[in-house]
Amino acid sequence: MSKSIYLLLILPVGLLLTACGEQQTPSRAAKTQGSMQHPIPKITEPPKRDYGFSDVVQGGKLFRQNCAACHGQLAQGNPQWRQPGVSGKSAAPPLNGTGHTWHHPKAGLKHTIKQGTIRTGGSMPPWKDKLTDAQIEQIIAWMQSHWPDEIYAAWLETDKKARKSRPAR
Ligand code: HEC
């Protein structure tokens, strides 16, 4: 495929993504609160993302196939996620930056996804035998593509600190 045709194909998708991001950022930022432990930094320029466009596209497909049934098509989570259900178990939280997923470093997110939460009294199945490490990374990239720049910048700090104290697995 010639380069210009490729660009023509990519451009509308890129514009669409930009448009969504602009619309959603203010409301998401407002819903997500920082804390002493997880402050949301004031940033002057967007942080560099550590994933690429194709990771996000692949991750989106895998998310819809495996995770959307509980976490929602756009990773918005179950509206009741903060209240334990009758069984005492929580409903699936949002992964789109409005919850607290960004408080966890990459290694922690991978651990939760691989092991699930059934063993610790939750209801998420483990994915370690169904998805490869690379696929889990792609799903995380897709999740993070929904996070506003401030949230991603805050997460980068947390991840950097965790890598210093324990090298990435
Ligand atoms: C059967 C429903 C279900 C499915 C399917 C599911 N999850 Fe979950 N997930 C949950 C629940 C519920 C929690 C909250 C922990 C708990 O109480 O079990 C959770 C928690 C998480 C967390 C931790 C979020 C945080 O803010 O700490 C991550 C990350 C996550 N899920 C990712 C995924 C990914 C990626 C997939 C698909 C590969 C997936 N989940 C599939 C139900 C599900």
Q: For ligand 1, say whether the CB of 10 is within 6 Å of any of its atoms.
A: no
The SS3 call for residue 154 is helix
Burial class of residue 127, CB neighbours in 10 A (0-12, 13-18, 19+): buried
Among 110, 114, 108, 141, CA closest to 128? 114
pTM for the predicted model, two decimal places: 0.84
* CA of 59 relative to ligand 1 center, distance in Å: 15
* CA of 93 relative to ligand 1 center, distance in Å: 7
User: How would CATH label the architecture of 50-165?
Assistant: Orthogonal Bundle (1.10)
What is the domain partition of the chain in residue ranges? 50-165
Residue 97 to residues 30, 50, 148: CA-CA distances in angstroms? 11, 16, 7
Tokens read off for 119: 């063993």
Q: For ligand 1, say whether the CB of 99 is within 6 Å of any of its atoms.
A: yes
pLDDT, averaged in runs of 10, over the chain (169 residues): 54 45 42 82 94 98 98 96 87 96 97 97 96 98 98 96 79
